[in-house]
Amino acid sequence: MACARTPEPTPRHRWLSCPPVRLLRLGGLSALAVLLGGCGSLGYYAQAVKGHCQIVSRQKSCVKLIANTNTPPELRARLQLAAELCAYADTRLGLPANGAYTEYANLDRPYVVWNLYAAPEFSLAAKTWWYPFVGSLDYRGYFNESMARSHAGKLARQGFDVYVEGVEAYSTLGWFKDPLLNTFLHHQEPILAEVLFHELAHQKVFASGDTDFNEAFATVVARAGVRRWLRDRDAGEMLARYESALARNDAFVQIVQQARAELKQLYKTRSGQAAGHLTESGKERILSQLRENFDTLSLRSDQYAGYQSWFAGELNNAKLNSVATYYDLVPAFDRLLEQQQGDLEQFYAAVKTLTKLPEAKRHEELQQAVPTVAMTQQER
Residues 224 and 327 in one domain: no
Burial class (CB in 10 A: 0-12, 13-18, 19+), 110: exposed
Which helix (DSSP H) or strand (DSSP E) does residue 181 occupy?
strand 180-181
One domain for residues 250 and 222: no
- pLDDT tens for 182-232 read 999 999 999 999 999 999 999 999 998 898 999 999 999 999 999 999 999
Alpha helices, H only, 37-108:
39-58, 62-67, 73-92
Give the closest residue to 225 by CA, choosing from 346, 352, 88.
88
User: Of 203, 220, 236, which one is at a domain's C-terminal end?
Assistant: 236
- Please indicate, yes or no, whether residues 340 and 254 belong to a single structural domain of this protein: yes
Q: Mark 338-350 as b/e (b = at least 16 C-beta within 10 Å).
A: eebeeebeebbeb
Q: What was the pLDDT predicted at 246?
A: 95
Summarised one tens digit per residue, pLDDT across range 11-54 is: 444 434 333 333 333 333 333 333 333 445 777 888 888 898 99
* C-beta atoms surrounding 292 within 10 Å: 10
Are residue 191 and residue 326 in the same domain, yes or no?
no
- 359: containing domain: 241-379
User: Which residues in the chain show pLDDT less than 50?
Assistant: 1-39, 372-380
> 143, 50 in Cβ contact below 8 A?
yes
Strands 103-105 and 140-142 come out as unpaired
Is residue 186 assigned to a domain?
Answer: yes
Strand partners, 162: 118
Same domain, residue pair 250 and 232: no
Distance in angstroms (rounded) separating the CA atoms of residues 90 and 332: 25
User: In this structure, is residue 349 part of a structural domain?
Assistant: yes
Considering the domain architecture, whether residues 210 and 321 belong to the same structural domain is answered as no
Contact (Cβ atoms closer than 8 angstroms) between residue 127 and residue 118: yes
pTM of the model: 0.85
Instruction: Answer yes or no: are the C-beta atoms of 183 and 111 closer than 8 Å.
Output: yes
Q: What is the pLDDT of residue 44?
A: 84
- Going by their DSSP bridges, the two strands 135-137 and 129-131 should be labelled as antiparallel
pLDDT at 274: 52
* 274, part of any domain: yes
Domain count, the chain: 2
- Ramachandran bin of 98, using left for φ above 0, alpha for ψ from -120 to 50, beta for the remaining angles: left
3-state secondary structure of 105: strand
Q: Give residue 114's pLDDT.
A: 95
DSSP 76: H
Torsion of CA 261, 264, 266, 272, to 10 degrees: 180
Tell whether 231 and 290 lie within a shared domain. no
Q: Is residue 219 located within the same domain as residue 320?
A: no
Report the pLDDT value the prediction gives residue 319, as an integer from 0 to 100: 97
How far is residue 151 from each of residues 17, 100, 122, measured CA to CA in Å?
17, 31, 20
Number of neighbours of residue 146 by Cβ within 10 angstroms:
9
The amino acid at residue 55 is: I
228 and 245 part of one domain: no
Task: Using alpha carbons, list the distances in angstroms from residue 180 to 80, 97, 113, 290, 379.
Answer: 11, 12, 14, 36, 39
* Residue 275 placed within a domain: yes
**Cα–Cα distances in Å, from 287 out to 33, 120, 282, 320, 376?**
41, 16, 9, 10, 30
**What 3-state class would DSSP assign to 117?**
strand
Q: Within a domain: residue 79?
A: yes
Which among 209, 134, 212, 128 is positioned nearest to 174, based on CA atoms?
134
Do 110 and 232 lie in one domain? The reply is: yes
Q: What is the predicted pLDDT for the residue at 40? A: 55
Whether 224 and 286 map to the same domain: the answer is no
Write down the pLDDT at residue 134.
75
Q: Give domain status of residue 367, yes or no.
A: yes
Together in a domain, 255 and 325: yes
Question: What pLDDT does 356 receive?
Answer: 95
> What pLDDT does 271 receive?
58
5 located within any domain: no
Count of CA atoms in the C-beta half-sphere (13 A) of 27 = 9
Last residue of a domain, one of 236, 253, 277: 236
**Listed residues 236, 266, 284: the one ending a domain:** 236
Please return the burial class of 73, using the count of CB atoms within 10 Å of its CB with bins 0-12, 13-18 and 19+: exposed
Q: How many helices (H) and strands (E) does the chain have?
A: 16, 8
Classify residue 194: in a domain, yes or no.
yes
